[in-house]
């Protein structure tokens, strides 16, 4: 989102392009970004920071569809004006990476000296649900908590809500256990040490990076000097910081579709609560899933289950793109699917 906001404002200004004419596609390991990009907080002035989100797996599928062999692609540098990448930024992909990058900055700020050695803060790395660390700088103690896996944040959140001083100077929370390397948009890990290996790749890139601290990346320094002014400036807060507001209601078809992948544009949802299960909803799920697969429509139509807690009338609860449909409508999808989809988009 920050990159999208920067491109739509800073790059648009540099290139003399109206930001409405820029289309930003974000390729990430994160499925949640699809939803996040469609939230109203990320469309100031009615122009979205990020227009479309592809997961890394979707990008690989596109490469595959175009019959491109990835091993034949020549790696290239990123483009100006965002060419340089710091090792600290690379570490963001694993749990503890954001905290480690912030510590590299905090130690320099507090000591007033350039941090040349001991750039590694290994105590915040790893896969534990909650890592706590105290770093001593200039006689001061920095207390850091790193949460991996959203459910592990609950304990800290409950204490904060209860008004307790948890005593941390910095709390990093990564929703996926292990961080973005375990994001649901990545390939599902097949081996027990897959995540450790992914983490190690990031650590190795950081170690061999020309710039290992965010604050020494020349492109970032130029960006702040020429555009944002300084960290936490009014413009930086406006474009890079977010406050979420509760949202109640339906985002509507267009917003939902915007957040969808390049392929999956329709979605069946079948309830598997006890009542629906007793009426055969699990078998129906299998039936729809098989029909979609046989029709080779699985790249465009997903089938998922939901377990509704509230009482719902009628037979098995089933929706297409959020609209309830009759069970009979899905019995012969070979014939009915085009009509169903047409009705769903109206």
Contact positions vs ligand SF4 (CB under 6 A):
29-30, 32, 174-176, 179-180, 183
Alpha-helical regions (H) of 249-296: 252-259, 274-278, 281-294
Structural contact between residues 285 and 276, judged by C-beta atoms closer than 8 angstroms: no
Tell the smallest beta-carbon distance from residue 286 to ligand SF4 (Å): 29
238 vs 206: CA distance, rounded Å: 30
Name the DSSP letter for residue 260. S
Distances (CA, A) of 180 to 56, 63, 217, 253: 11, 22, 22, 28
105 vs 109: CA distance, rounded Å: 6
Going by their DSSP bridges, the two strands 140-148 and 170-174 should be labelled as: parallel
Tell the smallest beta-carbon distance from residue 21 to ligand SF4 (Å): 28
* Sign of the CA dihedral running 285, 290, 293, 294: negative
Residue with tokens 């809500």: 161
Tell the smallest beta-carbon distance from residue 95 to ligand SF4 (Å): 8
Q: Which is nearer to ligand SF4, 92 or 285 (CB)?
A: 92
For the record, the structure tokens of 121 come out as 């803060």
Tell the smallest beta-carbon distance from residue 185 to ligand SF4 (Å): 7
Structural contact between residues 266 and 321, judged by C-beta atoms closer than 8 angstroms: yes
Tell the smallest beta-carbon distance from residue 218 to ligand SF4 (Å): 26
Compute how many other C-beta atoms are within 10 angstroms of the C-beta atom of residue 33: 21
Q: Which is nearer to ligand SF4, 6 or 291 (CB)?
A: 6
Tell the smallest beta-carbon distance from residue 152 to ligand SF4 (Å): 12
| Residues β-bridged to residue 142 | 135
Q: Which is nearer to ligand SF4, 54 or 175 (CB)?
A: 175
Q: Which is nearer to ligand SF4, 19 or 198 (CB)?
A: 198
Q: Which is nearer to ligand SF4, 128 or 341 (CB)?
A: 128
Can you say how many angstroms the Cα of residue 211 is from the centroid of all Cα atoms in its chain?
25
Q: Which is nearer to ligand SF4, 28 or 303 (CB)?
A: 28
Enumerate residues 6+ apart whose C-beta is below 8 A from 336. 329, 330
Q: Which is nearer to ligand SF4, 175 or 318 (CB)?
A: 175
Tell the smallest beta-carbon distance from residue 29 to ligand SF4 (Å): 5
């Amino acid at each position: 989102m920050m990159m999208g906001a920067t491109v739509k404002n800073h790059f648009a200004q540099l290139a003399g392009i109206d930001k409405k004419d820029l289309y930003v596609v974000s390729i990430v390991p994160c499925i949640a970004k699809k939803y996040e990009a469609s939230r109203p907080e990320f469309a100031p002035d009615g122009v979205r920071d990020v227009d479309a989100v592809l997961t890394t797996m979707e990008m690989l599928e596109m490469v595959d569809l175009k019959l491109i062999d990835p091993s034949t692609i020549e790696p290239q540098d990123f483009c100006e004006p965002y060419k340089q990448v710091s090792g600290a930024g690379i570490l963001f992909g694993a749990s503890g990476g954001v905290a480690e990058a912030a510590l590299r900055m905090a130690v320099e700020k507090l000591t007033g000296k350039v941090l040349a050695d001991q750039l590694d803060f290994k105590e915040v790395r790893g896969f534990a649900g909650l890592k706590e660390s105290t770093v001593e700088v200039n006689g001061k103690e920095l207390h850091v908590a790193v949460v991996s896996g959203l459910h592990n944040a609950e304990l800290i959140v409950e204490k904060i809500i209860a008004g307790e001083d948890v005593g941390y100077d910095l709390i990093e929370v990564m929703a996926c256990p292990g961080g973005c390397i375990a994001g649901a948009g990545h390939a599902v890990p097949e081996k027990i040490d897959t995540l450790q290996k992914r983490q190690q790749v990031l650590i190795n890139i950081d170690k061999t990076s020309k710039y290992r601290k965010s604050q020494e990346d020349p492109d970032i320094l130029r960006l702040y000097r020429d555009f944002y002014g300084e960290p936490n400036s009014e413009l930086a807060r406006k474009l890079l910081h977010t406050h979420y507001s509760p949202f109640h209601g339906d985002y509507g078809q267009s917003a939902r579709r915007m957040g969808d992948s390049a392929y999956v544009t329709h979605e069946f949802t079948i309830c598997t609560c006890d009542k629906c299960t007793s009426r055969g909803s699990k078998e129906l799920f299998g039936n729809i899933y098989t029909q979609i697969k046989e029709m080779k429509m699985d790249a465009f139509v997903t089938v998922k289950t939901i377990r509704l807690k509230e009482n719902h009338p009628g037979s098995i609860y089933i929706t297409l793109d959020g609209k309830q449909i009759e069970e009979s409508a899905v019995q012969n999808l070979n014939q009915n699917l085009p009509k169903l989809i047409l009705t769903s988009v109206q």
